[in-house]
Amino acid sequence: MGFEEMAECYKALGDKTRLKILALLMVEDLCVCEFVEVLKMTQPAVSQHIRKLKNVKLVKERRQGQWIFYSLDRDRYPHLHSVWESLPDLSDEVEKLKVNGKKVYCTD
Amino acid sequence: MGFEEMAECYKALGDKTRLKILALLMVEDLCVCEFVEVLKMTQPAVSQHIRKLKNVKLVKERRQGQWIFYSLDRDRYPHLHSVWESLPDLSDEVEKLKVNGKKVYCTD
DNA sequence: CACATATATAAGAATATGCTTATATATACA
DNA sequence: TGTATATATAAGCATATTCTTATATATGTG
């Protein structure tokens, strides 16, 4: 991987909101409307951050009905494994989603 | 380490020139005038990139006479070890410096 | 001390980034 | 087919980034 490509990847990591999105994806796959809840941001703002993460292949998407679930592609860049491990644990945030009835359960 | 601090760190990594500086520092400690030679950039441009790396503690400096040698602080962020290992090997570039008589030898 | 070399800093300009609001597209369902 | 929900995209604006040129500071040397 060349310097340009690497730089684009770290640039994607170089934002607090995107790091939180990735930390949330370490807990489980989530969709945009769930990020909107947790991050208290508008839907377009979230979508634009996710687009940047997709552009550098850090996250994958899979559509399930009207929702699109995003997942962290942990193995895309093996040298980032310890970066993922170093992210703060946000499982409490995901738990709050469930408690508040904002979690999307998809039974496809 | 919080998200804000992490983001600042990855932001520092999110630039092709700075990644090259770090890759060069994987080979050996270097000073600004050597980066200027290798990177074919102006001295202020190089200094400003180094300042960003210093701000997030990725590089350390030590003055030796009129030169300031910069070094990679490999252990500052343990989760970045494999990032350092993944950087392209630029020892050829440092070798060229020596061949062209642009290497700074400091005998302090 | 005067001058050369190495480095840092400041100011300005061009470009990039990250939000906002408005709108388009895709899917589900009655 | 019409409506609701989820998501993406576009345009515009405020701020940040990265260069350039000019200048300041620090060290070494005659």
Q: What is d(CA B28, CA B59) in angstroms, rounded to the nearest whole number?
A: 12
SS in 3 state form for A9-62?
HHHHHCCHHHHHHHHHHHHCCEEHHHHHHHHCCCHHHHHHHHHHHHHCCCEEEE
What is the rounded average pLDDT of the residues B48-75?
97
Nearest residue to A52 (alpha-carbon basis) of A24, A88, A13, A20: A13
E strands, chain B, where? Answer: 30-31, 59-64, 67-72
Backbone angles phi, psi at B76, to 5 degrees: -60, -45
What is the rounded average pLDDT of the residues B10-30?
98
User: Using the beta-carbon criterion (under 8 Å), do B15 and A11 form an inter-chain contact?
Assistant: yes
**Contact present, B54 and B104 (Cβ < 8 Å):** no
Nearest residue to A87 (alpha-carbon basis) of B84, B86, B7, B13: B7
E strands, B2-107, where? Answer: 30-31, 59-64, 67-72
Instruction: Please tell me the total count of domains within chain A.
Output: 1
| Residue-wise pLDDT tens digits, A84-96 | 999 999 999 999 9
Read off the CATH number of the domain in which B30 is found.
1.10.10.10
State the pLDDT at residue A106.
Answer: 82
The separation between CA A44 and the C-alpha centre of its own chain, rounded to angstroms, equals 15
Amino acid identity of B106? C
Tell which wins on pLDDT, B108 or A104. A104
pLDDT over 90 (residue B108): no
pLDDT over 80 (residue B48): yes
* Residue A105 belongs to a domain: no
Rg (C-alpha) for chain A, rounded Å, is 14
* Residue A14 belongs to a domain: yes
Q: Does B49 touch chain A (CB under 8 A)?
A: no
Return residues 66-85 of A near B (CB < 8 Å).
78-83, 85
In this complex, the answer to whether residue B67 has its CB under 7 A from any atom of chain C, a nucleic strand, is: yes
* Residue A104 belongs to a domain: no
Strand order in the sheet with B59-64: B30-31, B67-72, B59-64
Residue B48 (CA) to nucleotide D20 (C1'), in angstroms, measures 12
Amino acid identity of A61? E
Residue B101 (CA) to nucleotide C19 (C1'), in angstroms, measures 50
* Residue A108 belongs to a domain: no
- The token duo for A10 is 């770290």
ipTM over 0.85: yes
**Contact present, B70 and B2 (Cβ < 8 Å):** no
Backbone angles phi, psi at A79, to 5 degrees: -75, 0
Which nucleotide is at minimal CA–C1' distance from A32?
D7
* Residue A20 belongs to a domain: yes
Domain hosting A39: range is 3-99
| Residue-wise pLDDT tens digits, A39-67 | 999 999 999 999 999 999 999 999 999 99
* Residue B105 belongs to a domain: no
* Residue A107 belongs to a domain: no
* Residue A21 belongs to a domain: yes
The separation between CA B90 and the C-alpha centre of its own chain, rounded to angstroms, equals 12
State the pLDDT at residue B106.
Answer: 81
